[in-house]
Structure 1
Amino acid sequence: MTIRFAHCFLVPALCCGLAARAQDASLADLSLEELVRLDVTAVSRKAQKLSDTPAAVTVLSAADIRRSGARSVPEALREVPGVIVAQIGAGRWSVGVRGGEGRFSNKLLVQIDGRSIYSPLFSGVFWEALDVVLEDIERIEVIRGPGASLWGANAVNGVINIITRKATATVGSLVSATVDDGGHSSLSVRQGISLGDAGALRVFAKGSELGGSRTRDGASEPDYNRGWLAGFRMDGAGSGVDAWTLQGNSSRRTSGENIIATSLTGEPAPLSLDFVFESASLLGRYNWGLAGGEASIQAYVDHQFANVGTYGKGTVNTADLDFQHRLVPYGVHEIMWGLGGRMLQTEIAAASSVLSITPPRRQSRVFSAFVQDEITLVPQTWKLTVGGRFEYSSRSRFEPQPTARLMWTPNMEDSVWASWSRAARTPSIGESDATILFGAQPTPPGSPFPMVVLASRPGEGWNRRAERVDTLELGYRRNLGNGSFEAVLFHNDYHRLISEQTDPNGLVFPTSPLPVAPFVAPIQYLQRGSQSAARSHGIEVGADLPLTAALRLQASYTLMDTRVRRSADAAANATARHLEESAPQHWGSLRMTVNLGGGQEFDVAARRVGAIGTGDVPAYTAVDLRYAWRVNRYFDLYFIAQNLFDPLHLEYVSNFFPGQPVYQPRRAFIQGVWRF
């Protein structure tokens, strides 16, 4: 179903000057100096100034998101240092931090208001299933580097913390509509209701459709992504230690793409694959004063369903409980501790002979405790933070995840910090339980069988231990009046990486034909296990420079290199090459924002991304433009052009399903936002 209602909205809205109230105060109204001093919560689970944070962290404000022209969360992340974003197709993204790029970046933890959207089915985020009302986002906090000492397993290379605005800040009505040059449109509606002394309620809904990808020769690619989102958020009138929130949402999205499978004759077999994603969640959080300190308890339930075409379908049900307590400072110590528990029920129903799951149903539990001590060594100059999270999973057993961070602040403008951290990633259900037939290769002439089927399965005796990384970081940050500069060096040592090796038992003959008559082909298994290791290192640089009151420049650059331990096994070396070549070695961006006066804004952004692999995805340069006009106090109009000087380019080829390369064209769209 193509959503055409946006066409009907934009033209009438241009002509309307309706009397209304605009109660949409946001971070967009903050000064640049205030933006530099934004609070960040993802690093230490408490509000602290960005300039006082001993970690590589970037905060995207509501104004940054709006002026980026983004229509999705991944697009808004494109210019964050250390974050590499590539579009695979309509609504399909690869998002990685310090490498680890891929369809499901399995070393990146993503949260929305404290609720993890990391899926244990594939160890990653279904970006094509994620949709939010961008106007409701207060800020996005991006930690580069491990965050597992506070947030737990899977926060290996980074944490993305999406924080939406309180309902008390969104009283009133909002309608946002977008339509692009291909006729794909979206519509978001929001109503905020004041509840007086009890707080406020926000209800919202969104429908959207994405498309417009191209093949190598510029022909239309029949991939698509469409769906809807609806939900609510209720907040009490209090703040800080006297605050509570209740949130719920439900969504459904469908997505389609073309993949290239290998038939049992060894020939490429184009296949159309359709996905259905459904989700629902309910979250509650309450903050209060406890023993002179601050305490918080959060609980949520979450349901995810994915139907992956003809391959099968999976369901994940999660119940999560988290408690934390920040004690009254005692001398030079400021201690925070917490407990957590999570229960997951997963079920995968394989609907094809190419996939089997044993067991098809699982119930797993995770129990955790964390403690963190922030020690003031020299007031306003030296600070040491030590702590760790101790996590027990019924699947990967006990995992300690400690950290130590030292920060030196010689003056009000400069800060230097160094850290060591350890983090772990638990194997996905697919990695630990699945047997997958993924291809075939012809045999030499005269062989008693025409081909050999290739399959992957868990290795015999594999203990399913979590992957582990030890990370060293050295960072420098300087406040430049209303701007800032940051540079970070990092080194990662990865251990127990999951990889594949050729089964030494040789070919296995199945007891029944596989799976196309008249062939009875032997199978060569590749065994999965925790048998690889890797190292990566690099540098990230970011600058935010307000040149005048109306002109601002933002720049970022990342350079990194990854090396994976080689072995004598060809399959293991193929896995190693893939890990080394899954992300470019360097990428950078430059953005200029101009306030033209009269309620007008002009933004131009350029990014350069290096090649991925050995030329599979060539390097490219992209330029985007945005013009915004505040027609009146109630209505804003945006014109956005993407890939302005590049009619067609490739950003990524899916590494999960063997995807057909999908190219991104030059595109333009118009957006109207009406507040009343």
Structure 2
Amino acid sequence: MYRPIFNTRTALIFTHFTRKSYALFNCLGKEVLIGTLSVATLTYAKADGIAKRDVMEKDSLGHQEVKLSEVVVTGAWAPLADQKPAMIVSVTTADDIRRAAAESINDVLKSATGVDVRQRGGFGVQTDISVNGGTFDQTVILLNGINISSPQTGHNAADFPVSLSDIQRIEVLEGASARVFGNPAFSGAINIVTKNKEHSNAFATIEGGSFGTVCGEAGVTFNTRTTNNRLSGGISRSDGGTKNSDFVKRKLFYQGNFSTRYADMMWQAGITSQDYGASTFYSAKFDNQYEETRRYIASASAEIRPLGDRRLTFCPTIYGHRDYDHYQLTRGMTGAANGENLHRMDVYGASISARLSWIAGQTAAGANIKREHILSTSYGDLLDEDQWHDISGSSRVYDHEGKRTCTSLFLEHNISIGGFRLSAGVMADRNTGLDDSFRFYPGVDVSYRPDNHWTIFASWNKAMRIPTYTELYVSSAAQQGSTALKPEKNTTLKAGLRYRRPEWEATVSVLRNYGRDLIDWVYESEESTKYQALNIGKVDNTGLTCDLALRPDLLTGCPIFTGLKVSYGYINQKHTSERNIYKSLYALDYLRHKLSVQLDHRIWRKLTAHWCMRWQQRMNGYHPYAKLDAKLAWTEDKYDIYLKADNITNHRYYDIGDVLQPGIWVMAGAKVKIAF
């Protein structure tokens, strides 16, 4: 029987809440659907989603809208939103980066609680990045989930082909992560996620300042009906803030995405080029070192959903990068006798994984194979003369070669029941640089959310790292490697609490690393003249991290102060060894205390200020130091004008060895943005 309906109700899709006074009346007589948006990852533990944006613009009454959003983050092979994975991941968003007084990704990471950034030159020209008391070789660096770390040396890990304008967020995973990223993920992993969901636009930035520094970059995002493409590039040069620290940096990056109901595809390619005076970077005895590095990266990946949904997903990936490194112990002096080394590092591989969502949770399994190949004037085994390779632009030849293949198999299961999350898995890894045996790296991450505010988490993970080619083969007036090095082993225990509200968030965690056969560069006695690469025995790190983020404007209703972040990290180390060690260059030269305070506030209309104070104490004999950075910015829809000052107090300090850092560094710049 036909019955007319006079009170037809339309569905109201609720994507965010608002404090507007009339909001409740908009819901009367309507069906209300409340949800959050989450974008799935592509492959290889890749993060890909929308950035957090906690606070929207004010309305005419001065009220603010708080947007509820979730971001898919790295932490397991199965993609999970940032509030749902068992492993807690620290996220620095694009808004955080935009406000910061930073010139490079390395500058941004300096404020991350568990991250130790030891910078030798300005603008991140040469930077060592480590996590939770580890060394720079123990941290995996990823770009959109693709491992771009070099098995030659971790010194060049920060040669990123992307600029700050390209980044959507930076994720930091603390602790052993071998079951997700393989044996190099010894003490942590850092994943840089680039923007890939923007509307078509173009931007250009120009800035200049102290020590003859000039930088420029530009980029464009262009979309079609099914693809999203982003192309960016930049160049910077400087005389440097200290003796023989001049540099020229160039970078170019392209990323593309394609999406349909049954598949998502992502591809990326990048180039970096750096020429820089290396001062006393690698040895205090030589103050006129020089280095040139080139890096070419490329990868393609897909997420294939044969059923049209995410119940069953296949994720194939191919990737590779080629790195060139030209080092001179004395600038302008060529030849092996003068300490000149040239290297070409090739890394390429492929992986395939599958994820199944079923009644018992999410199960993921897969395999990865990676080939590492180095041609060098000094690293690797000596080649027969008929196998030598000419070096373009040099009279020398690559007469040494090293190669190894890593094969990994993994299995992981994720369970989510109410507020309980569990992720457990194991990776079996075989590396021909060791032997033909498989080694197993299990791990378990657990979290519990009794309500929407509290999260309790704990984890246990194991990892191993094989020596880099530098640790195995380098032989110079300053360093001596060793082919007798054993692989490092690590077990990480971590537990903590997190409390979240729109107005504030706090996280406290404790960490325990059990390191065995750790590798370090050391002087064995006071009479030593070369740093030797040695397994230095057992190193146990006990750590504490505390993070507090406040929104004073939401807490007090005063719109002037818009953000306050306070973080503190502490590491205590216990080292036991049968060897006599007089001086450590890296592993025992750790960051014990790190305090970071960041404040954001409005000055007038669209003029804002960002302040960042960092105090830290390193166990290297130098005094602790405090450093203050600031940024003033006038922000419009189509342009930004800003003034940045690094090290306002002009304090001269040391991050590593005897490399003195520059004093105050001031930069002024402008950015133009055009949407189309």
Q: Shared fold by TM > 0.5?
A: yes
Cα distance between partner residues in 2 of 1:324 and 1:261:
40
Aligned partner of 1:31 in structure 2 is: 55
Name the counterpart of 2:453: 413
Alignment partner of 1:389 out of 419, 427, 431: 427
Unaligned runs of 5+ in 2: 1-48, 57-64, 329-338, 384-399
Q: What's 1:7 paired with?
A: none
| Alpha-carbon shift at residue 357 of structure 1 (Å) | 6.0
| Aligned AA (1:592) | L
SS in 1 for 2:446: strand
Structure scoring higher RCO (CA < 8 A, sep ≥ 6) equals 1
Aligned residues of 2:320 and 2:346 also touching (Cα < 8 A): yes
Compute the displacement of 1:29 (Å). Answer: 5.3
State the Cα distance separating 1:437 from its structure 2 match. Answer: 4.2
Following superposition, the deviation at residue 285 of structure 1 comes to 1.2
Provide Cα deviations, 1:560-581, integer angstroms capped at 9, x if missing partner.
Answer: 11121132x43xx236x55564
AA at the equivalent of 2:81 = K
- Aligned ranges for residues 548-587 of structure 1 at < 5 Å? 548-549=553-554, 550=559, 551-567=562-578, 569-570=579-580, 573-574=581-582, 577-578=584-585, 581-587=588-594
Deviation, structure 1 residue 457: 4.6
Q: Per the alignment, in what secondary structure is the counterpart of residue 614 of structure 1?
A: coil
Distance 1:290 1:210, change over 3 A: farther
Report if the CA contact (8 A) 1:72-1:131 is conserved.
no
Deviation, structure 1 residue 347: 1.1
Contact kept? 1:40, 1:141, Cα under 8 Å: no
One of 54, 74, 83 as aligned partner of 1:42 = 74
Deviation at residue 116 of structure 1 after TM alignment: 1.8
| Structure-2 residue corresponding to 1:9 | none
Alignment of 1:98 onto 2:132: yes
How far, CA to CA, are the matches of 2:77 and 2:325 in structure 1?
Answer: 31
Which whole-Å deviations, capped at 9, do the CAs of 1:536-592 have from their partners, x for residues lacking one? 10100111111214421111000111121132x43xx236x5556412311111111
Cα 1:140/1:404, change in 2 over 3 Å: same
* Paired residues for 1:421-500 under 5 Å: 421-438=461-478, 456-458=480-482, 462=484, 464-498=485-519
Distance in structure 2 (CA, Å) of the matches to 1:205 and 1:225: 17
**Equivalent position of 1:337 in the other structure:** 365
* Paired AA for residue 545 in structure 2: E
Confirm or deny that 1:314 pairs with 2:343.
yes
Give the alignment partner of residue 140 of structure 2, picking from 90, 93, 109: 109
Alpha-carbon distance between aligned partners in 2 of 1:123 and 1:395, rounded to the nearest angstrom: 18
The residue number in structure 2 matching 1:274 is 290
Equivalent of residue 546 in structure 1, options 548, 551, 554: 551
Task: Return the alpha-carbon distance in structure 1 between the equivalents of residues 53 and 181 of structure 2.
Answer: 31
Q: Is the 8 A contact 2:596 2:614 kept in 1?
A: yes
User: Is the Cα contact below 8 Å between 1:555 and 1:591 reproduced in 2?
Assistant: yes
Q: Which residue of 2 aligns with 1:643?
A: 647
**Inter-CA distance 261–281: structure 2 relative to 1 (3 Å threshold):** closer
Give the Cα separation in 2 of the matches to 1:392 and 1:294: 26
Rounded to whole Å, the distance in 2 between the matches of 1:364 and 1:296 is: 25
Secondary structure at 1:63's aligned position in 2? helix
The answer to whether the aligner puts 1:154 opposite 2:192 as a matched pair is no
Distance 1:58 1:209, change over 3 A: same
User: Are 1:604 and 2:611 counterparts?
Assistant: yes
Distance 1:499 1:665, change over 3 A: closer
Tell me, in whole angstroms, the C-alpha distance in 2 between the residues paired with 1:261 and 1:156.
23
In the alignment, the residues of structure 2 paired with residue 661 and residue 529 of structure 1 have an alpha-carbon distance, to the nearest angstrom, of 23
Give, as a single letter, the amino acid of the residue that structure 1 aligns with 2:354. Answer: H
Within-5 A mapping of 1:112-261: 112-123=143-154, 125-127=156-158, 129-166=159-196, 168-195=197-224, 197-214=225-242, 221-238=243-260, 242-259=263-280
One-letter amino acid matched to 1:471: T
Range that drifts further, 414-423 or 309-318: 309-318
Contact 2:521/2:586 (8 A) holds in 1: no
Number of matched residues?
578
Measured at CA, do residues 296 and 532 of structure 1 come closer, stay the same or move farther in structure 2, by a change above 3 Å?
same
In 2 relative to 1, CA 34–426 (structure 1 residues): closer, same or farther, beyond 3 Å? farther
Three-state SS of the structure 2 residue aligned to 1:236 is strand
TM-score (norm 1): 0.79
Taking the aligned partners of 1:256 and 1:526, their CA distance within structure 2 comes to: 22
Task: Give the CA deviation at 1:627.
Answer: 1.3
Amino acid in the other structure paired with 1:165 = K
How far did 1:230 drift?
1.8
Q: Does 1:614 align with 2:638?
A: no
Q: Does structure 2 retain, via aligned residues, the 8 Å contact 1:564–1:579?
A: no
* Secondary structure class of the residue paired with 1:208: strand
C-alpha distance in structure 1 between counterparts of 2:154 and 2:493, whole Å: 24
Alpha carbons 2:215, 2:234 under 8 Å: kept: yes
Q: Aligned to 2:113, which of 69, 81, 93?
A: 81
Alpha carbons of structure 1 residues 98 and 210: separation in structure 2 relative to 1, 3 Å = farther
Alignment of 1:365-376 (within 5 A): 365-376=405-416
Deviations 1:387-438 (A, max 9, x none): 0111111113433111012222211211111111001111111222344443
Secondary structure, counterpart of 1:169 in structure 2: coil
Alpha-carbon spacing, 1:396–1:124, altered in 2? closer, same or farther (3 Å): farther
Counterparts of 1:538 and 1:553, CA distance in 2: 24
Q: What letter corresponds to residue 221 of structure 2 in structure 1?
A: G
Specify the alignment match of 2:7 in structure 1: none
Is this contact kept in 2: 1:280–1:302, CA < 8 A?
yes
Does the CA contact (< 8 Å) of 1:356 and 1:435 recur in 2? no
CA contact (8 A) 1:36 1:484 kept: no
**Deviation at 1:162?**
0.3
Shift in CA distance, 124/475, structure 1 to aligned 2, threshold 3 Å: farther
CA distance in 2, matches of 1:224, 1:524: 28
Q: CA deviation at 1:498?
A: 2.8
2:8 alignment counterpart: none
Using the size of structure 2 for normalisation, the TM-score is 0.79
